[in-house]
């Protein structure tokens, strides 16, 4: 699926992406800004991860690609709660001048948000980020209109100190699409005698 300006696209992860994903996860700059933590991994372990994620129907990851198909990072929906119609949004872009500050993060977040709301039909999306990751906080709350919903104080150990974990969220009814798409709530056929207060 391509985003609204076709400057990025999201595609499923393929076996050929495993070296890129291993390098992305091992990059010191990227590792210092993400919530999760793991040991640096080998290509063999990345292969095992790939096989396991193929069976995970509650998490859908995509490679974020530029206009010519070069991988920039990974994005997706984690822990999809089918009963409550919610999911966590994750976004991890590579370091360096060729990726940072070019709007790829906003376009990738927009593409994942619209996929979650329109294609999957989710009601609420949420994300967690480190309080030290000012770029992600600005991306979600200032540029994309998500709301800060909470803060877990000194929750994550990173770079020799504890930092807060900030949770942000967005309801489908709050989403204003930069693509011009609109969301129409599905009609509910409620018999007149059953209609009433929730």
What's the whole-number mean pLDDT along residues 162-183?
87
Q: Are 9 and 115 in contact (CB under 8 A)?
A: no
* pLDDT given for residue 97 in this prediction: 58
* pLDDT given for residue 123 in this prediction: 97
Q: Are 152 and 131 in contact (CB under 8 A)?
A: no
* pLDDT given for residue 7 in this prediction: 83
Beta-bridge mates of residue 149? none
Half-sphere exposure (Cβ direction) of 87: Cα atoms closer than 13 Å: 26
What's the whole-number mean pLDDT along residues 82-88?
97
What percentage of the chain has pLDDT greater than the value 90? 57
The domain spans of the chain are 8-174
Q: Are 152 and 160 in contact (CB under 8 A)?
A: no
Q: Are 114 and 178 in contact (CB under 8 A)?
A: no
Note the pTM of the prediction, 2 decimals: 0.83
Domain 8-174 maps to which CATH number in 3.30.450.20, 2.130.10.30, 1.20.58.1910, 3.40.630.30? 3.40.630.30
């Amino acid at each position: 699926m391509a985003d609204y300006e076709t400057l990025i696209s999201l595609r499923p992860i393929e076996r050929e992406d495993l070296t890129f994903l291993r390098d992305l996860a091992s990059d010191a700059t990227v590792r210092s800004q993400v919530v999760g933590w793991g040991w640096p991994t080998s290509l063999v372990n990345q292969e095992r991860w790939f096989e396991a994620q193929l069976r995970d129907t509650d998490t859908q990851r995509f490679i974020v690609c530029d206009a010519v198909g070069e991988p920039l990072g990974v994005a997706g929906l984690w822990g999809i709660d089918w009963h409550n119609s919610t999911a966590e949004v994750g976004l991890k872009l590579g370091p360096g001048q060729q990726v940072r500050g070019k709007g790829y993060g906003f376009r990738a977040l927009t593409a994942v948000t619209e996929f979650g709301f329109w294609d999957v039909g989710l009601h609420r999306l949420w994300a967690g980020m480190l309080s030290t990751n000012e770029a992600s906080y600005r991306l979600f709350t200032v540029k994309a209109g998500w709301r800060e919903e909470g803060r877990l104080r000194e929750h994550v150990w990173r770079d020799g100190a504890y930092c807060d974990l900030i949770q942000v969220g967005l309801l489908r009814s709050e989403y204003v699409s930069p693509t011009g798409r609109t969301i129409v709530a599905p009609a509910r056929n409620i018999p007149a005698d059953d209609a009433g207060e929730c």
